[in-house]
Structure 1
Amino acid sequence: MKVKTFQIIVLQGIIGSLPWTAIVFFTMWFELIGFDNNSSAALNSLFAIGCASGALIGGVIADHLSKYFPDSARVMCAQFSAFMGIPFSWILLTVIPQSVDYWYAFAVTLFFMGITISWCATSANNPMFAEVVPPKHRTMIYAFDRAFEGSFASLAAPAVGLITEKIYGYDTKTVNLANGSAEGAYALSRGLLTMMIVPFGVCVLFYSPLYLVFKHDRENAKFASFKEQELV
């Protein structure tokens, strides 16, 4: 807990996990637009495929760049990934008309959104944890990170519901998922937009201090490991 890199990554992870929890409402949003079950499932699948591909791509790019910029490359990749959540969320939730006629537009946007916003864990968080803590503590560190992020991220889903109902006027009594609802889709899209764009933006800012502390923490971890080997 005294390692500043760990503190910063956990802090940004708490905020950065909120949009990913809010994404569980995508299926409901698609159905409110009027997509049937198969179309909604296909959209979610394309997003998942994009995320899986993006995690691999982000990790490869960060590994390559870190050879030349060991102190900043991973942070830059993470900030790029978090930042890309802002324009893609805006395009997905506000620019594309909320109509079943635009399935392909939703599909392409979701796929490329998944590719670009899924880098943080593989390109920065996990590799940086491995560099700033002694090997014997790594599994515990990963466990703490998952526990902290998961606990706070669970608040995003009810937050989306509250924002959608209290601010944007979503009324469960007048919405019928079977037939879709333009008003309900609009309200939910605005609730999702709030819980995605704001956390993504804050997450980008929270990564910034790593430019100053990561190198120092990594050198301390190397020195600690070297001292342990000498004692052995």
Structure 2
Amino acid sequence: MKTLARKIIPTLLIGAMVTGCVSNQPKNDSASTAGSPQPQSDSSRTKTEGAVFGALLGGLLGMATGDKKNAAVGAVIGAGVGYVVGNEIAKRKQAYATNEEFLDAEIARTAEFNQTARAHHERLRVEIAALDDEAETLRAQYKSGQANRQQMLAKQQQLKEKLDKNNELESVLQKEFEINSEVLAEERKTRNTEDPYLIALEKENSDLKAQIQTLRNDSTQLAEINERLSV
């Protein structure tokens, strides 16, 4: 199975701007009529769609590394509230000449999301341990009069920002999980259980589900620390 990872990972942060263009491109590579724009080739569509995917992934990687600029891009592109899973799948498929290329891209895309989520969790795990200690110390100081209400509120705000970012990433991953689940359900109707594309996507989607649960656990810990600082 060839991989399209190289086509969907480029971190072109302007990818969001071309999403509509990708969805409106014709599927075939036939010549344009006189005076009409030249249809985008399968190769160009794949690369353009890769730019969109790369922008989102670049944004998520920014979240994992703390880069606020990239994180903002990831948040904007990932915040497509109210989308229909079926429509999203159809739009993505338009970028590829074959169903196998589409599946290959989804596998690579999901693997990148998993990598991003793991990196984010590893960083956050260290931060949570530090914040837990800081919260205990600050609460003790507040009770003894060595810290004031403003200091408590400032620490709560810091925790809230980390919690919001974690929830934001979880939301994006949940959408991808739903899309993958629908793709798998459709593909199982025509492919056997030993199909390598199905096996690979199932594995990555199962890992994605685990990463989502890990993010939820991290959010719970952050919320508990925040609660202890309530004044």
In the superposition, the TM-score normalised over structure 1's length comes to 0.30
Structure number with greater Rg is 2
Larger relative contact order (C-alpha < 8 A, sep ≥ 6)? 1
In the superposition, the TM-score normalised over structure 2's length comes to 0.30
